[in-house]
Structure 1
Amino acid sequence: MIMQSDRLANCTICGKLYLKDHTDYCLDCYKEMEQEFKVVNDFLKVEENRFASIEEVSTFTEVAEKRIAEFIRDGRIYVEDYPNLGYGCAHCGTLIKRQMLCKNCFEEFTAEVNKTLKAEKFLEEANRPNEHAQAARYWKLRN
């Protein structure tokens, strides 16, 4: 059996080389993540813990906040069932329950990108030679 190199990858957590099938992690890291998910999920299933924040969940389960946020972003934890559970916006830190940016930061980012794209388009058009001027030069040179 010939092994294809595109099936080999480095684990995004520990860097160990592994045979990539369905995850971005080696088997050891995958098992560890699944165990952490089980601990967090079991903690959240307890009615008294329904209103816990991500910091409290992390403290009681000893699972990193970053990992819990990954579980939320991946849709493995449905945060709508947990009113205080969320993670910080990647830009400003505001508590959010999905994506990477809060609504305000996303709108600011989008506006800035659009502004940049418009400026680049304007410069590109300003630097593009005028077709009429080129045609006039052609006829002038030809004569």
Structure 2
Amino acid sequence: MNTGELLAAARAKGLRIAVAESCTGGLLAGELTGPAGASTVFDRGFVTYSNAAKMDLLGVTTEALEIHGAVSEDVAGQMAVGALHRSEADVAVAITGVAGPGASGRKPEGRVCFGLATAQGARTETVEFGPRGRDEVRQASVAHALDLLLQAVERTP
């Protein structure tokens, strides 16, 4: 996915983007802010690696974290909605997962949950990237989030 394509599409529609990241630790925000002129589209990024940060900065509930765990669609959805509501963005994406090495509790390496939020609502999905190693899982997560953002921008009137 070409980041420039996403930024151009968002710019053409006057849309702003926010991101909420856990396992990618700011890589997505870095990718989005790499091209010149990104400031016309990128509003802000939240790196919420700890559960406390997810709750404090994005409004993720204690109940969601206790019942489903940080790596869950429920938490990813709350992260995306929180990023949308705590920014000037029109579309927000969230990433939370197990980059590895190894599993985290009962959740395998490579499981990543995504949330996407717009004014029209929120949706979530889980992708099993598998045990590719930490760097590859993180890069695959960034690429998938960019694809989700492009789809959301293209669907926005």
The structure that is helix-richer by fraction is 1
Query: Structure with the greater relative contact order (CA < 8 A, sep ≥ 6): 1 or 2?
Result: 2
What is the TM-score of this pair, normalised by structure 1? 0.28
* Greater fraction of residues in strand: 2
Q: Could you tell me the TM-score, scaled by structure 2's length?
A: 0.26
User: Which protein shows a greater Rg?
Assistant: 1
